[in-house]
A and B are shown apart, each in its own frame.
Chain A
């Protein structure tokens, strides 16, 4: 930031001094090509897998065996592979459902509850209407009921957000628990024995394709993925919701009705969650428990955010998450580890991916002059904890520093773009 006359001002001198003193300098990065970003993410995944393998070894497992089990659990048989795709499909569908809301900066963490309500409506149809109509008609009724269930559960917080700006994060969170409570309540009525466990419902099960279950689920999600991609990218609605997410004031000035967009988007979001519930109950378990969504609503949030709200990236992340979770259950079985091992593996994977986003969004520069100076003064240099990839990054940064001491100012537009990538909460 040079002054207009070209001479270094007092302010510049101050900035120079600051830069000399601080050993690490961090600045925004906006020019990272996509392939480099994916390379960094790949490095993060490798690091995460490595950590997980070490945990397995420390618990009495075998280092190579960890990777073999991961692969075996997912690709050994056709059935395993279909289960992997099915798990991916459900995760992806919920992530897709959350994405329009997140793009609008509506922090819907109630996908879990919306899926459960969709599933509950679906199970209700199967329970009461089963055998009274043809199976295909029943499946259609189940779909409609599920969509209604999910959409209603999502639109309640949206109405309050639109009217009174009620905090949606906690509202949707509470609705999760209310949905679970409703399911427990319904189960006490349906199951006379009081065990609270509903057996497999006979009517309304999805037809098998090629004598394999779940194939229909996978096809349905594939179609929805394409539709959502088109919706977000090319439709007027998709444009409007991203404007609302970027700046509510801009949206108002260009004549977008913000409450309308919020309610419409949440209806869509809830409807998709309802479909996920329909697939889980009608096409997967043919029954319902409070654990039918099984934390997928939360995992999907991470997938949606890490995929930068891009359906294609989300496919990749949900595939990896499903792969790890399935593989890790196999590892846990083989080495007699706790049943929560898959969740630990998945969360380590997510921690690694979240951390690596830092290197996609920021540039780190090390100031060698500082280290030399402090060594002379008796080694007061602060040692920062640096991961491998950071060091890699830092070396690139140092070359830059050698050429030019002062950071190039980023343009306004570029800074905004970087902000978009980061997906911060404003308002």
Chain B
């Protein structure tokens, strides 16, 4: 029972992990992208439409190759997320618009866009197709049901779960150990100094936002294809906001985000595992992730060391000629 709960939590945490890894990469460049919930929705749209188109060209869903479906889903989601990131950075870098306002608009747009584009699929045969395709995503390495806790905990997931953890670890190493990561952090801490040192602020902000959004978009794809098994549900944006909160929880470190997202995942699915609860008690338990986030916010601000502070230039637009 406990191992099942833990492995379900890890699986569910993936949606938060993609969102927060993407947002950390973006925020390290000084961009506060409140559009992440919208980007995750857009990623889900891209992935689902891509898979749907692929299955349609095949004729029958039975002919699909698992590898092809996964690759096409991931690529389409990445592309859709990258386009959303491009839109956001065009507004905030080139047009120098306010990041909060642009991000909120992107979130509204993304959530509506998802209902608009995928709403048509809901009542057609495509849903059946997506259900079939989702098996390619949930397929684990194990030939049968996990038999012991080790298999349950480490080997029972679909490909997107491992990809999320791999991306988070890679992002942590790149941010901390490479010159690119150093430059990126410099842009986020003090763009004027970075600019003077010959680092192109615009280029770094564009690329980190596009990359971050592409990664976040995979979260939307994961939610539909893995977590829901191909069913369509339009609540991705609520998880997106949790991913944004998780960035603070993990103090801008992707490796901490892995642990943080597992905790959030556990809190989220806990009501389903606590039996004998009335409706009212379940509603109260559902509040826990938000309350925990608030507590973490407060605690990190009270005991705020320099190392746990946000990038100094977070949320500001950079204009070279500004004094």
Contact = CB atoms under 8 A, between A and B. Distances in A.
A67 interface: no
A347 B113 CA distance: 10
Given A164-B302, A170-B293, A188-B279, A343 B104 contact: no
Given A415-B323, A423-B98, A166 B283 contact: no
3 closest pairs, A vs B, by CB?
Answer: A343-B112, A347-B109, A340-B115
A415 B301 contact: no
Nearest to A416: B323
Contacts of B315: 425
A181 B283 CA distance: 6
B297 to A, nearest CB: 6
Contacts of A120: none
B102 interface: yes
B228 interface: no
A182 B280 CA distance: 10
B266 interface: no
Contacts of A173: 241, 244-245
B105 A160 contact: no
Contact of B105 (A165, A194, A350): A350
Interface stretch (B51-59, B128-136, B166-174, B284-292): B284-292
Interface of A is mostly: helix
Contacts of B100: 107, 109, 169, 301, 305, 425
A78 B274 CA distance: 53
Contacts of B96: 358, 361-362, 422
A37 interface: no
B120 A338 contact: yes
A301 B104 contact: yes
Given A28-B321, A344-B116, A347-B105, 20 more contacts: A28-B322, A164-B301, A170-B245, A170-B248, A173-B241, A173-B244, A174-B293, A181-B283, A181-B286, A181-B290, A298-B104, A299-B108, A338-B120, A340-B111, A344-B113, A347-B112, A351-B105, A355-B91, A355-B97, A362-B96
B190 interface: no
B298 interface: yes
B238 interface: yes
Interface in A163-182: 164-167, 169-171, 173-175, 177-178, 181-182
Interface of B: 32, 34, 91, 95-102, 104-109, 111-116, 119-120, 238, 241, 244-245, 248, 278-280, 283-284, 286-287, 290-291, 293-294, 297-298, 301-302, 304, 310, 314-317, 319, 321-323
Categorize the interface residue count of chain A.
Answer: 35 or more
B313 to A, nearest CB: 10
B98 A424 contact: yes
Nearest to A172: B294
B321 A178 contact: no
Contact of A160 (B287, B301, B321): B301
A302 interface: yes
25 contacts: A28-B319, A107-B100, A109-B100, A109-B104, A171-B298, A173-B244, A175-B290, A177-B241, A177-B290, A178-B290, A182-B287, A185-B287, A188-B283, A194-B279, A301-B104, A305-B98, A305-B100, A341-B116, A343-B109, A348-B109, A354-B105, A355-B95, A423-B98, A425-B98, A425-B99
A295 interface: yes
Nearest to B319: A28
A216 to B, nearest CB: 30
The CB with the most chain B CB atoms within 10 A, among A174, A348, A426, is that of A174
B298 A160 contact: yes
Contacts of B301: 160, 164-167
A166 B304 CA distance: 10
A165 B300 CA distance: 10
A133 interface: no
B290 A174 contact: yes
Nearest to B113: A344
Contacts of B109: 343-344, 347-348, 351
Contacts of A355: 91, 95, 97
A347 B108 contact: yes
Given A170-B244, A181-B290, A295 B108 contact: yes
Nearest to A358: B95
